[in-house]
Structure formats: structure tokens, C-alpha cells
């Protein structure tokens, strides 16, 4: 079941927002509801090149109302994945051909009883549940390597409520080996893997002792999956987790508990050099949030995207999307979009980031649109734009009004005239000169006048490349 997209627009309501810059801009694309879906979606992963987004939506497929997986192409289609039903997605391979996640499923040998179970999906094989080999013990699947060869997570999860102890094993699944449990640190019995490098050779996660202290760790295939503890700072208060690792396995990111009192706690963003194990704390989590939860880190360790979390659970965070860049520190994504690109985010809430393309220019997650609907979001940074393409309709009552449609026609011209007359400087302030040889040509000057009109007319005649 497919639905053709127009310029990456997949929602019936407001679909795309763009900051009007000259040559480069940013876009916020709302996935909205997919065919057969209702007003709910979340984007949980993106392909390496940023062209394909994976997520979940609720909808009605052949009379069955449930949560389904979907695949969205920036320039193509959005389609449901019928075999992914009643499941959360957590990991996506580089070509979006292998997916993984968690589900609450009925135990195969114990009807009426349910457990958390990890799973993976391929286009050819569909869904395969990674049940714990110990009956009635739970599992997860948290990440997929970019090459699709490895799935990592946790298996054999068990709580001894009487003693208050938790037990689990981290694992890596490969087609050639099946589930392989990863080693523990000495005298520890609770582990989980959360991140994996592009070829599956470096895995990161945490170990927990009986005192419920958590330690960031790395497993390395080159050393027979040997486990190694990453270091923490002196200020750390006994809990650190490594959640993501760069594609090349050089850098990991997670968080450390850095403050705690009777009113709450604060977990700050941390980056590790995997080779040395050295940690770097990347600023303090601001008031109003508990934790900084990274979703992805670049190969050079220069960029991390994630979520400032307002809730206790780190594996499904919501709050505000942040971006950390070397030299800039941590900034809220909404401020980057409004201040750097001029995107109007009125009524929007960017709640959570779940993935990033290899070049860092496509970020996916979910948020609330101006109508209050939960929607998957695709944020594209440094997008080349056609200045003249402004609107798919000249009717202010049409949902396509003010939404670029990939072609330059009368709708764009009349939309610009409307904004010019209205004095909308975000749209109509385009140039300080009408002379192409003037350095002020194509540079907004803070006022709307004839220079802006004639500059737009030049761009309109030139059309889109």
C-alpha cells in the first residue's frame, strides 16, 4: 500500500516548513499519517544517506486497527510494513533493509503469559523474534549495524523480586552465529548492549552490579568480544551508560549521573574515546530535564544529536531535541532552526530524536504539530533550495498555500505578492539591491521594497534548476 509524496510531504495537514535562506535552508517535514493510518506517527531511524525513514504509526489495515511499521522516502513514497505490527522499532541498518526493536508478546510455550522480546526484520524473511533461550525471561533488540550484519540488545532478563536483584546478558546476533551472549565484567550479572558500529565490530552498553551501580562498557570483536570498562569522571555518582557508538567505532556517547538530591537527579551528556576509554562531559543537562540521551554520534566525534529527557526512562525519551557540535556546545534544535535558518516553528514541539544520517544533515524523531497530533518528523539541514518555489497554491485556504511543491508557477508569484503586501519579512525580504552586480543583491536588508520584488522576479524567471 503506497502513497506518492510530493517533495517529501506525507501529511494531509501542514506538511513541510522551510526557512527561507539563499542557497541553503532547513526543512521540518511532518510525516503525519500514512495510508491507512490515523493522526499518529513516530520516526525511529534513518538510512545512512538520509533518503529513507523508518517508524511506526497506528492505523487500520484490512480491518485490523493496530500499530504498524512504515517506510518513508524523502522523494518517493510512504508505505506500511504489514508484518511489523504491535512492535516498537529501535534499530535501522544503513540501507533500511534490516530493522530491530522490542515487542510485548505472548510466550510461545506459555499461553496467556507475555514477555518483552527483541526482534529483527528483513524484507525477505519478515519478523523473527529473538526469544530468550531461558523460558519466561525477557529480551530486547536495541540497535542494528549499518551493514545489517549485527543486532545487539539484552537477553535472559529476570528480576528476583524477593532479593531485589536483576539479571541479564548483553548479546550480539549474527545470521551466521545466531544469538551470542557477551562477556560480563567480574562479579556482575546485569548487562545490556545499546549501540553497535557500522560493521558490528564494536558494541557499547553497560554493566550493573548488585548495588545497582552502572558502568559504561565496550565489547570488541577483534578481541573475541572481550569486554572493557570505559572510564568515568571523578564527579560521577555511580551510574554511567554508553548508548551509541560512531559508525567507525572510534567514539561512544551516553550519560553519567552527576547530581542527585531529594528533589531529583541530573544525568549529563558524555562522550568517550573508545580506544583510550577517556570520558568528556559535554555540558550540564538544563533544569526541567533529568537526562541528556544521545541518539547518534558522528564518525569524527564532532556532532551528537539526542533528547533532553523530562521522564525517568531513558530508552523512550521525550522533552527537547538537542544538537551538540564541537566548538558550539549543546543547542536546542528548535533554536538552531529558528535562529540559524529562519524556520517558523510556531505551535510545534520537537520532542525526541531517534536517528541521524551519516553526514549529520538529516535528523529524525517525533514531535507535536500545531494541531496537537503526534507526528514523525524529518529535519533536513543545509538543504539547497529554489528561492522562487514558495507555494503549491495561491489560495490562502488551501493546505498547500505556503508549502513549496517543486515547481515554479503562478501560485508562487501570487503567494509572494501576498507576503510582499503583508510585509512578511521572513518571506519577502530577499535583497538589498535589484542590481545583480551589487554585493547587496540577494542579501536581505531588513526592509521590504522594490529591490525585493525585482530580485524575486529574477528568480521566478530563472526557475528551479
Please, which residues have CB within 8 angstroms of residue 330's CB and are 6 or more apart in sequence? 269, 282, 283, 292, 322, 323, 324
Q: What is the mean pLDDT of residues 305-309?
A: 98
Q: Pull the grid cell for residue 462.
A: 530563472
Residue-averaged pLDDT of the chain? 88
Reply yes or no on whether the pLDDT at 170 is more than 70: yes
What pLDDT was estimated at residue 131? 83
- Count the neighbouring beta carbons within 10 Å of the beta carbon of residue 222: 9
Q: What is the pLDDT of residue 38?
A: 59
Whether 22 shows a pLDDT value over 60: the answer reads no
The rounded distance, in Å, linking the Cα atoms of 43 and 393 is: 28
Is the per-residue pLDDT at 95 higher than 60? yes
What are the pLDDT digits (tens) for 135-169? 557 899 999 999 999 999 999 988 776 555 789 99
Mean pLDDT of 20-45: 72
Taking only the tens place, the pLDDT of each residue in 115-138 is 889 999 998 999 999 987 765 578
Q: Which three cell numbers stand for residue 47?
A: 538510512
Residue 384 has pLDDT above 80, yes or no: no
- pLDDT level of residue 106 (50, 70, 90 thresholds): confident
pLDDT at 342: 85
pLDDT at 174 over 50: yes
Where along the chain do its domains lie? 58-345, 386-465
- pLDDT of residue 268 exceeding 60: yes
| pLDDT of 32 higher than 80 | no
Question: What is the pLDDT, as a whole number, of residue 200?
Answer: 98
Task: Say whether pLDDT at 399 is over 50.
Answer: yes
Least confident of 259-263, 363-367, 416-420: 259-263
* pLDDT for residue 7: 29
Specify the fold of 58-345: Neuraminidase (2.120.10)
> Which of 159, 235, 208 lies closest to 217 in space, CA to CA?
208
Higher pLDDT, 105 or 291: 291
Average pLDDT over residues 185-196: 94
Region 231-260: what's the mean pLDDT? 97
Report field, pTM of the whole predicted structure over 0.85:
no
Higher per-residue confidence, 74 vs 190? 190
d(CA 375, CA 426): 25
**Rounded mean pLDDT, 292-316:** 95
Question: Would you say residue 24 has pLDDT above 70?
Answer: no
Query: For 326-335, what is the mean pLDDT?
Result: 96
- Cα separation of the two ends of the chain: 32
Q: In this model, does residue 242 exceed pLDDT 80?
A: yes
- Dist. CA 115–CA 103, nearest whole Å: 8
Amino acid at each position: 500500500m503506497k502513497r506518492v509524496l510530493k517533495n517529501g510531504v506525507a501529511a494531509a495537514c501542514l506538511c513541510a516548513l522551510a526557512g527561507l535562506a539563499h542557497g541553503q535552508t532547513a526543512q521540518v517535514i511532518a510525516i503525519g499519517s500514512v495510508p491507512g493510518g490515523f493522526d499518529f506517527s513516530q520516526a525511529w531511524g534513518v538510512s545512512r544517506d538520509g533518503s529513507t525513514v523508518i517508524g511506526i504509526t497506528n492505523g487500520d489495515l484490512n480491518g485490523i486497527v493496530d500499530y504498524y511499521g512504515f517506510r518513508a522516502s524523502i522523494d518517493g513514497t510512504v508505505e506500511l510494513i504489514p508484518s511489523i505490527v504491535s512492535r516498537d522499532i529501535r534499530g535501522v541498518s544503513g540501507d533500511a533493509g534490516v530493522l530491530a526493536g522490542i515487542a510485548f508478546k505472548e510466550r510461545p510455550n506459555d499461553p496467556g503469559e507475555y514477555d518483552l522480546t527483541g526482534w529483527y526484520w528483513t524484507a525477505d524473511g519478515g519478523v523473527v523474534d529473538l526469544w530468550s533461550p531461558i523460558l519466561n525471561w525477557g529480551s530486547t533488540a536495541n540497535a542494528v549495524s549499518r551493514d545489517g550484519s549485527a543486532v545487539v540488545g539484552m537477553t535472559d532478563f529476570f528480576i528476583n523480586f524477593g532479593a531485589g536483584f536483576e539479571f541479564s546478558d548483553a548479546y550480539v546476533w549474527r545470521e551466521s552465529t545466531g544469538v551470542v551472549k557477551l562477556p560480563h565484567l567480574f562479579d556482575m550479572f546485569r548487562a545490556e548492549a545499546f549501540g553497535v558500529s557500522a560493521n558490528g565490530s564494536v558494541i557499547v552498553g553497560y554493566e550493573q552490579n548488585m548495588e545497582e551501580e552502572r558502568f559504561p562498557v565496550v565489547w570488541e570483536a577483534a578481541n573475541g568480544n572481550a569486554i572493557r570498562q570505559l572510564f568515568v569522571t571523578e564527579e560521577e555518582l555511580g551510574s554511567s551508560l554508553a548508548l551509541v557508538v560512531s559508525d567507525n567505532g572510534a567514539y561512544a556517547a551516553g550519560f553519567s549521573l552527576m547530581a542527585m538530591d531529594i528533589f531529583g537527579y541530573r544525568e549529563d551528556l558524555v562522550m568517550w574515546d573508545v580506544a583510550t576509554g577517556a570520558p568528556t562531559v559535554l555540558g550540564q543537562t538544563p533544569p526541567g530535564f533529568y537526562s541528556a540521551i544521545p541518539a547518534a554520534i558522528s564518525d569524527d566525534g564532532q556532532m551528537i544529536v539526542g533528547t533532553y529527557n523530562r521522564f525517568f526512562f531513558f530508552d523512550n525519551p521525550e522533552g527537547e531535541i538537542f544538537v551538540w557540535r564541537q566548538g558550539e556546545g549543546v543547542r536546542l534544535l528548535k533554536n538552531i532552526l529558528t535562529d540559524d535558518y529562519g524556520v517558523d516553528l510556531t505551535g510545534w514541539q520537537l520532542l525526541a530524536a531517534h536517528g541521524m544520517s551519516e553526514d549529520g544533515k538529516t535528523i529524525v524523531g517525533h514531535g507535536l504539530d500545531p494541531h496537537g497530533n503526534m507526528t514523525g518528523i524529518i529535519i533536513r539541514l543545509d538543504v539547497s533550495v529554489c528561492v522562487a518555489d514558495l507555494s503549491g497554491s495561491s489560495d490562502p485556504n488551501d493546505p498547500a498555500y505556503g508549502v513549496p511543491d517543486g515547481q515554479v508557477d503562478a501560485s508562487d508569484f501570487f503567494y509572494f505578492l501576498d507576503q510582499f503586501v503583508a510585509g512578511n519579512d521572513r518571506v519577502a525580504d530577499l535583497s538589498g539591491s535589484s542590481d545583480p552586480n551589487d554585493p547587496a543583491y540577494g542579501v536581505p536588508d531588513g526592509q521590504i521594497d522594490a529591490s525585493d520584488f525585482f530580485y524575486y522576479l529574477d528568480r521566478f524567471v530563472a526557475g528551479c534548476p
